[in-house]
Amino acid sequence: MTNLLWVAAGGAIGASLRHLANLAGLRLMGTTFPWSTLFVNVLGSLIMGFFIAWMTKRTGTPPELRLFIATGILGGFTTFSAFSLDLANMIERGAMGSAFSNILASVVISLAAVFIGLWFGRSFL
């Protein structure tokens, strides 16, 4: 239960930061391109990579810190950071087929799921 609280606390922070980034992006860049989403995804992935590398170099880092920052804050900020870390792990292991399959499946299936959800919501609600 304590681990769940660490994730929830971090998630609230990450989701709030994402909301603020979206508001700033809309004000600064407008709506012609999803700049704030791109910014959040790239920044979240950069921080995820740095944080995981830092954690693996340090001994004695409490596992709650990873839950709070990686799963909570960065997960709430962007799930793309977790997706990026999964892909980096596959590529580093040499599992290129799995990595590219994951990219293709994640993008295509998620995009299809959004369209199905839109169709379902527009048709039946």
Element (H, E) at 58: none
pLDDT for res 70: 93
Instruction: Report the sign of the C-alpha dihedral through residues 26, 27, 32, 34, in that order.
Output: negative
Q: What is the largest CA-CA distance in the chain?
A: 54
pLDDT for res 60: 84
pLDDT for res 59: 80
DSSP letter, residue 12: H
pLDDT for res 37: 86
pLDDT along the chain (125 residues), means of 10: 96 96 92 88 91 87 93 91 90 95 92 91 87
Q: Computed over its alpha carbons, how large is the radius of gyration of the chain?
A: 17
pLDDT for res 20: 96
pLDDT for res 98: 93
Distance of alpha carbon 85 from alpha carbon 65, whole angstroms:
17
